[in-house]
Amino acid sequence: MIKAVLFDMDGVLVDSEDLSIEIGIKFFKEKGYEIKKENFLNHLGTGMNDFVLGAAGEIGASVSVKEADGFYKNVYESEAGRKKIAMPYAKDVVTAFKNAGIKIAVCSSAQEWKVNANIKAIGLEPSFFDLVVNESFIKRNKSFPDIYLLSAALLGVDRNDAIIIEDSPGGVKAGLNASIRTVALTTTMKNEEAENSGCDRVIKDIAELKDIKTAKELEDYLFSSRDEDVLYGANYIKASKGDIRPEVINNCIRMALKAREAAYAPYSNYKVGAAVLSANSGKIYTGSNIENSSFGGTICAERNAITTALTSENGLIGVDLLVVASSDWPPAPPCALCLQVLSEFSKEDTKVILVDLEGHREDYLFKDLLPHPFIFPTSRK
């Protein structure tokens, strides 16, 4: 269940990005440079340094970040309130979440003065939030995961119990790198870009959450549409409705490939990563193979991922999707022992995707790989 929501600021709670770009264009013009809005777009949400120097690099300009910062601060503070930059329903959404007992945090790559100005533009004070983090808290800004990992730690919540709401490619990447479920808004990104970002859910804007009153409603709205018990192997689990969203599949593939990099395979040098998508929670769990000099002690990536999932979800899980990543082509399927273990938690039509390092993939159903698993007959009722 969701215990904390980590909000990016610009493009999520306030619509300040046009104002920021407008000020940036004015600054460059004062320095004798012609610059366009498009030159700033790839540098939104990653801090003042990249916003200024990234845009400058696109046109071959040489400017001072310190000068830009002073110029920006003076203009922004006077314009933010006047231009009414708060996103529609932003105040209502964060207030409803707080009243529901969900911890709320602002996690912005901007400077403290700007974050505070934006919060006041919403009609709130910084003290209203359980946590407000700005760029001074971290050394590495988005797209590194540091700001979100730090925020979850300071709030005292497990990453599995937090979600991130972001609107920029760099911010979404930061959320994914933190292994925290990330919701992408299409306030800044185009819908296709958001869908392909690897995020866990795409929504239009923050106003889409205005009617949410409880943590369960938020969880169900974003990640679940489950209302019917379905037999997954030997266990009844609340079933998913419809196909798995493309962005979730892409995220599972990305996480399996990343897990492969952490494999311990000093004897065979054959690294495997796996990711399983939980039917219970919509969360993704990963594992990598761990070899042992006593070969019988080796643990496969698939079983490693299942163990992590079971531990995290109190000993019961249904698998909606399994991804296995290896360097082979055709890519390596799970071994027979892993398939037998997985059969306890999978349906016949659980999706299995095998991928290699070049992005090639083969898709199967679980029954294609293990048509007749052994499960105690009494568990099949």
* Residue numbers annotated as active site: 8, 10
**How many CA atoms within 13 Å lie on the side-chain side of 91?**
12
**What tokens were used for 124?**
């709130």
| End-to-end Cα separation, the chain, in angstroms | 29
Q: Provide the sign of the torsion angle of the four alpha carbons 247, 250, 254, 256, taken in this order.
A: positive
CB–CB of 36/69 below 8 Å? no
Quote the CA–CA distance of 24 and 72 in Å, as a whole number: 7
Phi and psi, residue 362, nearest 5°: -125, 135
Pairing type for strands 235-238 and 273-278 reads unpaired
Cα torsion 23, 28, 30, 34: sign: negative
Answer yes or no: are the C-beta atoms of 16 and 10 closer than 8 Å: yes
CB distance 134 to 164 below 8 Å: no
Q: Which residues contact 139 (CB under 8 A, 6 or more apart)?
A: 146
DSSP string, 61-84: ----HHHHHHHHHHHHHHHHTTTT
